[in-house]
Structure 1
Amino acid sequence: MRRVCFLLKVRPERLAEYRERHRAVWPDMLDALRRAGWHNYSLFLRDDGLLVGYLETADFEAAKRAMAATEVNARWQAEMAPFFEDLDGRPDEGMRPLDEVFHLD
């Protein structure tokens, strides 16, 4: 299983709403993520808007493609895009995995 970590930046004026939206992620979005192979998926948000995402998956590119093929993901990405700074396109297209340099089992 590959561990994937990525960073994005939420607009400071949208932090409260971003947090609220993630307290009620659509059930069909959650189902799509699971079916696409996203495991142990977490988002961590700092008060300045730094968003750290973490997930585990067998194949990150395949998992992203599987999500991109779903209608629910298109709707979710369209709704989430205005929350982010410095994106060219959809938020899921802005996820650039960080290099893992250490891991303790």
Structure 2
Amino acid sequence: MIRKTCLMFVNPDCHDEYKRRHDQLWDSMSRLLSSHGVSNYSIHLFSEQNLLFSYAEIENEEQWAAIADTEICKEWWAYMKDIMQSNADNSPVSRDLKEVFYLK
């Protein structure tokens, strides 16, 4: 199991909408994540900075990367692009974080 973390950026006036959309996460997106080895996925908001911190446990990097190539993921990105910083392909602007400490 690999712990995967990153930062993303939500628009200042869209915090509630971001949460609402994730509270209503599509079943197809949930199944996609599970089928690609993702578990214990959570996203946390640092509202003062409009930052999102995501944490997921993944089985391997290849399965994780393959999610981006699916139609469901591309549809989700298009759905979310109006409320967060996004790249030209609609993927969220994100920065991977390096783990510097873990207590088991």
Given the two structures, how large is their TM-score scaled by the length of structure 2?
0.87
Q: Which runs of 5+ in 1 are unaligned?
A: none
Aligned length: 102
1:72-83 equivalences in 2 (<5 Å): 72-83=72-83
CA–CA distance in structure 2, aligned partners of residues 27 and 62 of structure 1:
19
**1:82 counterpart SS class:** coil
- Measured against aligned partners, the alpha-carbon deviations of 1:50-104 in whole angstroms (never above 9, x if no partner) come to 1000001122243121x1232211110101112113x423335x33321101000
- 2:9–2:94 contact (8 Å) kept in structure 1: no
| More strand by percentage | 2
CA–CA distance in structure 1, aligned partners of residues 42 and 91 of structure 2:
15
Given the two structures, how large is their TM-score scaled by the length of structure 1?
0.86
- 1:8–1:95 contact (8 Å) kept in structure 2: yes
- Please tell me the root mean square deviation across aligned C-alpha atoms, in Å: 1.5
In percent, how many aligned pairs have the same letter? 33
Q: Which runs of 5+ in 2 are unaligned?
A: none
CA–CA distance in structure 2, aligned partners of residues 61 and 95 of structure 1:
18
